[in-house]
Homo-oligomer: A and B are copies of this chain.
Amino acid sequence: MRNDLGAKPMLYPMPVLILGTYDENGVPNAMNAAWGGISDFEEITVSISAGHKTAANVLKTKAFTVSPADVKNLVAADFVGVVSGNKEPDKIKKTGWTVAKSEKVNAPIFNELPLTLECEMISYDPGTDRLVGKIVNVSADESILTGGKIDLTKFCPICYDPSEHGYYTMGERVGNAFADGKQLQ
């Protein structure tokens, strides 16, 4: 028996995306977005309503970074979703994050967030809230790599539950993509 829950954004897992941008004076901002995902091999799409500081910034700089939040940075990642960069000038200072400018795009990398997609804006439509970015580079802190690849025993990204507003770890490995299904062929 199925129940109707209505028209809601109930997807699982949802990411916790930290968007980094600069304003016109080079002041960094960060915000937390759950509505987004990869939309092509070198492309990411995120929904950002026009009132956000991030929207104003990206229209000026044509660039942004996306870092998946991890367990170590959970409190600061939630904080940048609770507080607006339009109202809190010390937003980044309060996170404790240190900032380095991306070498690839005009957007900040938060050094404490170990994985970052560095993106050039392809388009942003304030009508649909749709921000599309070309992934120019992915940079990863050595601390989360093994043999040059991302290692989920070292990197602990968090998932968002849109129903109960919880943050979850990624748990145990339970299968192999492009492999386990072959037994049904």
A39 at interface, CB cutoff 8 A: yes
Collect the chain B residues with CB atoms within 8 Å of residue A1's CB: 141-142
Interface residues of A in 11-39 (CB under 8 A from B): 11-15, 17, 34-39
The answer to whether residues A167 and B173 also contact, given A47-B38, A157-B12 and a CB cut-off of 8 A, is: yes
Closest to A100 in B: B2
Check B34–A3 contact: CB distance below 8 A: no
The answer to whether residues A158 and B129 also contact, given A7-B136, A37-B15 and a CB cut-off of 8 A, is: no
Q: How many copies of this chain does one complex carry?
A: 2
Collect the chain B residues with CB atoms within 8 Å of residue A135's CB: 7-9
Which interface class (under 10, 10 to 19, 20 to 34, 35 or more) fits A? Answer: 35 or more
The answer to whether residues A181 and B81 also contact, given A3-B142, A37-B35, A139-B3 and a CB cut-off of 8 A, is: yes
Given contacts A9-B38, A11-B117, A13-B157, 19 further A-B contacts (CB under 8 A): A2-B140, A7-B134, A8-B41, A10-B140, A11-B17, A11-B37, A34-B38, A39-B47, A75-B184, A79-B183, A149-B164, A150-B163, A159-B170, A166-B176, A166-B177, A167-B177, A167-B180, A168-B173, A170-B170
